[in-house]
Every structure is written in structure tokens, then in C-alpha cells.
């Protein structure tokens, strides 16, 4: 669910900004199969057994020449994905509040439904902040390219094309603790903010 809405948000933003390529490819859709990447899905299943689940959906392709302002609009498309996950996390937090009000005290502590709501909150926040790490192929690299002054953005893009994927793979498969250090604090902060008063 989190990945489907994330990829839909990229496609929807690009479509609204004048790029019809995602619509032509059937990506302006909330059907999970339209965003399924076989390898990314398999990785989710396999790595979940290790306690560190990682996977991905099919990347949304865009045509920057269709945008009125390619750098700005590509940045908007990139940030739409993480924002959609924060919005989903907010909805899950509302669900948690409603469930706590509706259920007798303590009745939800071992509830599968409550576990689903809590997981939805955490997974979406983790996906949002993970994707904001400024490394290719993550959304954060596109956002950095959009906000940096052009000379620095160009140098950053060249560096990321050469070394970004290597650094990313090292973080994911070798230095996983670094990812926790990067995304743990903002995830915990947003969780406390969304569940304020609970």
C-alpha cells in the first residue's frame, strides 16, 4: 500500500505538471499491480525475514522536456512520493486515535488490527525519510538537484551518477546502522508528533 501510493503520487504529480508519459504507461493508477516490480517485491519478502525489510516499486519514468520548468518540476515530482507517505502515516495515526477511543481500555493491545495501524504508521514514515536520503536512486537526489544552484546541482548530479548507487548499496547491505541513524530520529519525531497526547 505504501509503495503503491508513493509511486502513484510521482505519476500524478508529473501528469499534473504536463508530462503525459506516466499516464501513457498506466502509472496514474492506485492498482498495486501497475507499480509492482518483481525483483523489488521479492526483495521485500526475502529481506523481511532478516528483520530489515527493503524493497521497491517500479520507478515512474518522466519526460523532463515536457515540464515548463524541468528542474523545479522534477523536484516537485520527486517530493510528491515522500509527502504521500507522510500523508498516509497521518491517516494511520487518525485510525489509531479512533481505535483507542472506540475500543475498551487495553482491548487493542494484542489486536491484529491495531498492529496493522501501527505498522502502517511506522512503515510510511520510514519509507518517506528513507527516500529523502540524497543518494541516487532515491527521491532525495532529485530534490537536491532541484534546490541547489545550477553549478552545484550539475556537479552533484555528476558525482551521484558515478558514485551514488555504489554508496547506496553499501549503506543498504553493509552499513545498515547508518540508515537507522539517518532516518531514526525524524521517524521518531514524526511519530510522536502524529500521536501527540496518546
pLDDT in tens, 27-51: 999 999 999 988 888 877 776 776 6
- Bond before 196 cis per omega within 30 degrees: no
For residue 158, give the C-alpha cell: 555528476
- Which residues are CB-neighbours of 76 under 8 A, at least 6 positions away? 13, 17, 146
Rounded average pLDDT over 4-12 = 97
Percent of the chain with pLDDT over 90: 72
User: Which residue reads 507522510 in cell numbers?
Assistant: 86
- Predicted TM-score (pTM) of the model is 0.90
Distance CA(170)–CA(108), nearest Å, equals 39
* Number of helical H runs and strand E runs in the chain: 8, 0
Largest CA distance in the chain: 59
The answer to whether 3 touches 56, Cβ cutoff 8 Å, is yes
What is the C-alpha to C-alpha distance for residues 153 and 164, in angstroms, rounded to an integer?
14
7 is catalytic: yes
Enter the DSSP assignment of 57: -
Give me the mean pLDDT over the 61-80 stretch: 96
Angle among Cα 28, 32, 188 to the nearest 5 degrees reads: 95
Strands (E), the chain: none
Average confidence score pLDDT of the chain: 90
Task: State the catalytic residue, choosing from 4, 7, 73, 131.
Answer: 7
d(CA 77, CA 32): 19
Q: What does the angle CA 148 – CA 62 – CA 80 come to, to the nearest 5 degrees?
A: 60
Q: Name the grid cell of 165.
A: 548507487
Residue 166 C-alpha cell reads as 555504489
Please report the pLDDT score of residue 109 as a whole number: 58
Amino acid at each position: 500500500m505504501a509503495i503503491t501510493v508513493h509511486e502513484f503520487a510521482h505519476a500524478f504529480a508529473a501528469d499534473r505538471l504536463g508530462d503525459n508519459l506516466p499516464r501513457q504507461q498506466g502509472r496514474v493508477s492506485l492498482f498495486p499491480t501497475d507499480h509492482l516490480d518483481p525483483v523489488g517485491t521479492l526483495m521485500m519478502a526475502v529481506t523481511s525475514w532478516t528483520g530489515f525489510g527493503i524493497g521497491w516499486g517500479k520507478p515512474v519514468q518522466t519526460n523532463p522536456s515536457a515540464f515548463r520548468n524541468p528542474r523545479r518540476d522534477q523536484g516537485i515530482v520527486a517530493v510528491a512520493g515522500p509527502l504521500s507517505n507522510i500523508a498516509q502515516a497521518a491517516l494511520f495515526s487518525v485510525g489509531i486515535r479512533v481505535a483507542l477511543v472506540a475500543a475498551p481500555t487495553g482491548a487493542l493491545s494484542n489486536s491484529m488490527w491495531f498492529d496493522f495501524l501501527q505498522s502502517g504508521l511506522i512503515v510510511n514514515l520510514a519509507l518517506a525519510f528513507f527516500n529523502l536520503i540524497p543518494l541516487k536512486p532515491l527521491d532525495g537526489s532529485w530534490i537536491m538537484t532541484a534546490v541547489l544552484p545550477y553549478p552545484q546541482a550539475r556537479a552533484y548530479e555528476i558525482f551521484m551518477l558515478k558514485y551514488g548507487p555504489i554508496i547506496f548499496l553499501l549503506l543498504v547491505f553493509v552499513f545498515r546502522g547508518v540508515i537507522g541513524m539517518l532516518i531514526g530520529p525524524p521517524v521518531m519525531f514524526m511519530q510522536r508528533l502524529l500521536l501527540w497526547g496518546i
